[in-house]
Amino acid sequence: MLLQAWLEVVCILIATLLAACAVAPWLAAIFRIDTADSVPGRCESWLERLERPVLRLAGVWPVCEMTAGAYAAAIFVFHAAGIILLVAIQRLQPLLPWNPDQLPAVPWLIAINTAASFATNTNWQSYGGETTLSPLTQTLGLTVQNFLSAASGLCVLAVLTRGLVRRDSRTVGNFWQDLVRSTLGLLLPLAVLLGLVLASQGVVQSFGTAIEVPLLDQSLPTAAATPTKQRIVIGPVASQVAIKQLGTNGGGYFNANSAHPFENPTPLTNLLEIVAMLTLPIASCLAFGRWVGDRRQGRALLAAMAMLFLPFLLIIVRCETQPSPLLAAVTPAIDQTASGAHEGGSMEGKEVRFGPAASALFAVGTTATSCGAVNAMHDSFSPLGGMVAMWMIQLGEVVFGGVGTGLAGLIAYTLVAVFIAGLMVGRSPEYLGKKIEAREMKMGMVVLLVPLIATLIGTAAACVLPSEASAALNPGPHGFSELLYAFSSAANNNGSAFGGLTATSGFWTLSLAAAMLASRLLTMLPLVAIGGSLAAKRTVAESPGTLPTHTPLFVLLVAGTVILVGALSFVPALALGPLAEALQPLPTAAGGGKP
């Protein structure tokens, strides 16, 4: 049975790699990286035909190149506009059409939190999914942001790549063109494809209203107040789920996210959803290699990500496929061994149709990428398994990470690694021929530090505010994990919830919204600045004296830098949370399970 679980994991990973290899050339063709006038080719023309009407409508045709400053301003304005629009849609919900359940206006705090969350590709959900938002709000508000926030992530990666490729250039591309191209040229076709497949497997896609059905087991109700009927909400789910996975968004249609049978009905959809969330971040690496004209560079960065991903995958799968010692101590004994009925292992908080291995893979995938969709409750994972999920987020969402932003973030880490390693070979540091100097270092440090600091300070604030510390459901170190996870998730734009936290008060909604906005904008804008300052530089010629950035040693160095920064920043906090919980002596047989 365990072998079967591992086999499943390996198959999914291979499928992911194949999908990424297939998408990479497509992604690479989307952006024009070099400044050189485009050669009228077939690929160029279909993209131009696609973008021209939209850009003309928006009044930005013909397209002219932007400086890094203008590009950053466009990103900022775009995020601000997205947030305002999303707040407006939520507040005006009762006045807008397609609100079959007559849902009221979303409360201000929740609306602001949700708007910040979806515009920043975080998709932290402090609202109750289908019970708070109408199909119109979900579709026109959330799903649109799912596309656009992923597309703007790709834009940042394009700017950074242009910085590395272009020389003596003042400009870094046009944000509106990049945005339209990545949305219409890549995300939309991929999402349509995936949405159709998901719908074919039973993911709901309907404009209909909620269905009322009698309870299957009519013998259950005894008391008069117990309902005899169940309302089942349906809606345009498949379309939202497709982009939620592809765009590493993670905001589900339903509150239960990908654990809900209408959002993720079968092991096959589970596989597809895992593949979907990993595909674009991995394809970005491969496309990066094509853009810089040296595929080894892209593969090296991908290898660094894999080096950080695979050991943690092993740990979490291993942890979750083990029987829970706490449940084993419960009397009467709970069956945790594999049988025909279930896979065995720690099943608390997991769906029977996925089993512990696929749930663990989903968990590490959704936290490694900044997706944040969940098909099992991370709160119920073993302490070490939960820690793995949390740490993958705390590494700054650079192990695969968000669409575009993940690789861009890893490049920021790479610049730091290159800076130190470059000195060790006796040259002032350079990456892909570009000198890394004070400005890149300054901006790179902002990219690295803002999420770290926001996570640590946010958690500290929650700890000292007596009213907020009690938001954690569980006592002891597990409660601390719940607080730490929430801020880690928001401040790294992941959006997954550990669970067990009541995060609807003013403190939580606003502080998490602030963390999401800070970590999105204060990483994207400095990354654009890095792109601009690199583009203006000349390219240093390569020689045997140049630090090679595609070797296994360099991969080790980049991965080591990420781990070192992550470890040094979070080890004390993790020690007080999951580590203390994991090392906790087991309760004696008479003791109860987890409260």
Binding site for another protein (CB under 8 A): 416, 419-428, 433, 436-438, 440-442, 445, 448-449, 452-453, 456-457, 459-461, 463-464, 469, 475-477, 479-480, 483, 538-541, 543-548, 551, 553-554, 557, 560, 564-565, 567-569, 571-573, 575-576, 579-580, 583-585
The residue among 10 and 583 lying less far from another protein, judged by its C-beta, is: 583
DSSP string for 157-203 = HHHHHHHHH--S-SB---HHHHHHIIIIIIIHHHHHHHHHHHHHTT-
Contact of 89 with 137, CB cutoff 8 Å: yes
Closest CA to 399 of 160, 566, 572: 566
| Closer of 256 and 412 to another protein (Cβ) | 412
Which pair of structure tokens corresponds to residue 328?
């084993």
* Chain centre distance of CA 166: 29
Q: Which is nearer to another protein, 50 or 540 (CB)?
A: 540
- Counting Cα atoms < 13 Å in the Cβ hemisphere of 489 gives 36
Give whichever of 95 and 541 is closer to another protein, judged by the CB atom.
541
| 489, 393 contact by CB (below 8 A) | yes
- At which residue do the structure tokens 């239960």 appear? 256
User: In the complex with another protein, which residue's Cβ is closer, 110 or 472?
Assistant: 472
SS3 338: coil
- Least spacing, CB of residue 514 vs another protein, in Å: 16
Instruction: Give the whole-angstrom CA distance, residue 257 versus residue 371.
Output: 12
- Closest CB 415 distance from another protein, rounded Å: 10
To the nearest whole angstrom, how small is the minimum distance from the Cβ of residue 239 to another protein?
A: 41
d(CA 520, CA 534): 21
Type of residue at 15: A
CB of 73 to another protein, least distance (A): 24
What count of other Cβ atoms lies within 10 Å of the Cβ of residue 546? 16
The least distance separating another protein from the CB of residue 480, rounded to whole angstroms, comes to 6
* Cβ closest to another protein, residue 95 vs residue 464: 464
Closest distance to another protein from the beta carbon of 384 (Å): 13
Q: In this structure, what DSSP letter does residue 579 have? A: I
Query: How far apart are CB 582 and another protein at their closest, in Å?
Result: 9
Whether residue 365 contacts residue 274, with contact meaning beta carbons closer than 8 Å, is answered with: yes
Q: Which strand (E) or helix (H) includes residue 500?
A: none
Q: Which token pair is 301? A: 């960065």
Please, which residue, 255 or 474, has the CB nearer to another protein?
Answer: 474
CA-to-CA distance for 59 and 57, rounded, in angstroms?
5
Work out how close the CB of 322 gets to another protein at its nearest, in angstroms, rounded to a whole number.
Answer: 19
* Residue whose CB is less far from another protein, 165 or 436: 436
435: β partners = 430
Taking the C-alpha atoms of residue 151 and residue 404, their distance in angstroms, rounded to an integer, is 8
Q: How far is the CB of 572 from another protein (least distance, A)?
A: 5
Helix (H/G/I), strand (E/B), else coil: 376: strand
CB closer to another protein out of 218 and 543: 543
Closest C-alpha to 173, from 75, 71, 79? 71
Answer whether 33's CB lies under 8 Å from 178's CB. Answer: no
Nearer to another protein, 310 or 583 (CB): 583
Shortest approach of another protein to residue 140 CB, angstroms? 40
